[in-house]
């Protein structure tokens, strides 16, 4: 029999809420290894003696730690990566199970005193992912030049297990050449930046000579949390389209514009208004409440609520986005 290795299982939660047009995550600020304050995800141990399943354990520690009650919860991925988690010589090795959780933001109620918990816009960590105003300037100013240099230095290099070389991965992930931008490839993009040594985390993990000058590409996070966040955003952007999860982020009643803005906040791009509205009610996703909202500078909007029955009628219902604009 093999010797049993003692492993602690950590749970990490990407807790998402949308505040107006800003998607936010619940972040915890703590001193990093170098003394600086860095944000991280809420983290808790899994104790199988107290909790029957991982998800129950997650809900419990999140409630204790943040005071939030979670709605939709979904497992993302399990990392056993010692290389990124801990430095050589650490006593115990952590496997961490990442979760995505959706909530409604409670006004005022921010930090549950003491803990550095706060809501932070997720585009702080991924400024290149928000195409709502314009194509983010950071892409052409900093990211693409640096990635192109990295790619042309060795266009065909591929780490073990990867089918494609640097040049092709760059093309697909960042939509250069004839390839269109795909908002779901958040993780691919982050991984490329990490491998190219362009994010602070790569430097911290010793993949880039310390002290090398880096452009500032988004706020860093502790450990591999930014990677987990990228996974969460990818998953949410994709799930949006085939399951009615947006409604977990909205109040019980909302206008179609609020619904659209929430979708756009997550997707990081605008969608075509008229078609969006048609798809939403052709899909039977919402029903009018009969009331109208106070006008916010124009004609008052009808209020809607989520039609729970779609879950029964059209099993694969979601907000298909259609093309850009």
162 binds, among a second copy, DNA, none (CB under 5 to 8 A by kind): none
d(CA 4, CA 10): 18
d(CA 121, CA 18): 9
Least Cα distance to 11 among 49, 50, 41, 32 occurs for 41
Contact assessment for residue 190 and residue 197, using Cβ atoms and an 8 Å cutoff: no
Q: Does 270 bind DNA (CB under 7 A)?
A: no
d(CA 288, CA 290): 5
Q: Does 114 bind a second copy (CB under 8 A)?
A: no
Q: Which is nearer to DNA, 9 or 279 (CB)?
A: 279
Structure token pair of residue 298: 């124009």
Q: Which is nearer to a second copy, 97 or 143 (CB)?
A: 97
Least Cα distance to 27 among 54, 61, 66 occurs for 66
Mark 26-65 with x for binding to a second copy (rule: CB under 8 A) and - for no binding: -------------------xxxxx-xxxxx-x--------
Q: Does 290 bind DNA (CB under 7 A)?
A: no
275 binds, among a second copy, DNA, none (CB under 5 to 8 A by kind): DNA
d(CA 3, CA 297): 69
Q: Does 256 bind DNA (CB under 7 A)?
A: yes
93 binds, among a second copy, DNA, none (CB under 5 to 8 A by kind): a second copy
The angle subtended at Cα 101 by Cα 246 and Cα 119, nearest 5°, is 90
152 binds, among DNA, a second copy, none (CB under 5 to 8 A by kind): none
- Beta-bridge partners for 94: 8
Identify the residue whose tokens are 């931008």.
Answer: 181
Identify the residue whose tokens are 């860095």.
Answer: 38
Q: Does 297 bind DNA (CB under 7 A)?
A: yes
Q: Which H or E element spans position 100? A: strand 93-102
In angstroms, give the least distance from the CB of 240 to DNA.
14
Q: Does 79 bind a second copy (CB under 8 A)?
A: yes
Structure token pair of residue 99: 């979760």
Q: Does 274 bind DNA (CB under 7 A)?
A: yes
Binding region for DNA (CB under 7 A): 255-257, 272-275, 277-279, 292, 295-302, 320, 322-325
Binding region for a second copy (CB under 8 A): 2, 4-9, 45-49, 51-55, 57, 75, 77-83, 92-93, 95, 97, 161, 163-164, 168, 171-172, 179, 182, 308, 311-312, 315
């Amino acid at each position: 029999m093999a010797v049993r290795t003692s492993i602690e299982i950590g749970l990490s939660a990407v807790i998402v809420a949308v505040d107006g047009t800003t998607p936010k995550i619940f972040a915890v600020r703590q001193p990093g290894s170098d003394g600086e304050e860095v944000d991280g995800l809420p983290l808790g141990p899994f104790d199988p003696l107290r909790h029957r399943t991982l998800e129950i354990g997650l809900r419990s520690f999140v409630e204790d730690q943040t005071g939030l009650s979670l709605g939709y919860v979904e497992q993302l991925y399990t990392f056993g990566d010692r290389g990124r988690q801990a430095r050589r010589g650490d006593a115990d090795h952590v496997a961490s199970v990442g979760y995505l959780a959706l909530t409604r933001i409670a006004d005022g109620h921010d930090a549950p005193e003491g803990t550095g918990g706060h809501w932070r816009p997720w585009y702080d960590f991924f400024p290149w992912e928000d195409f709502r105003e314009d194509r983010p300037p950071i892409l052409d100013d900093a990211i693409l030049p640096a990635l192109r240099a990295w790619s042309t230095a060795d266009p065909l290099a591929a780490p073990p297990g990867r089918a494609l070389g640097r040049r092709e991965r760059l093309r697909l992930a960042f939509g250069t050449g004839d390839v269109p931008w795909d908002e779901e490839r958040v993780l691919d993009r982050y991984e490329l930046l990490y491998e190219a040594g362009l994010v602070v985390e790569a430097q911290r993990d010793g993949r880039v000579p310390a002290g090398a000058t880096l452009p500032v590409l988004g706020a860093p996070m502790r450990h591999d949390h930014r990677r987990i966040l990228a996974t969460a955003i990818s998953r949410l952007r994709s799930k949006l389209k085939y399951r009615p999860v947006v409604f977990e982020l909205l109040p019980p009643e909302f206008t179609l514009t609020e619904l659209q803005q929430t979708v756009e906040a997550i997707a990081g791009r605008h969608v075509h208004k008229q078609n969006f509205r048609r798809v939403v009610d052709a899909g039977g996703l919402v029903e009018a409440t009969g009331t109208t909202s106070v006008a916010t500078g124009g004609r008052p909007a009808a209020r809607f609520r989520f039609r729970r029955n779609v879950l029964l009628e059209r099993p694969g219902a979601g907000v298909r986005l259609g093309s850009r604009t």
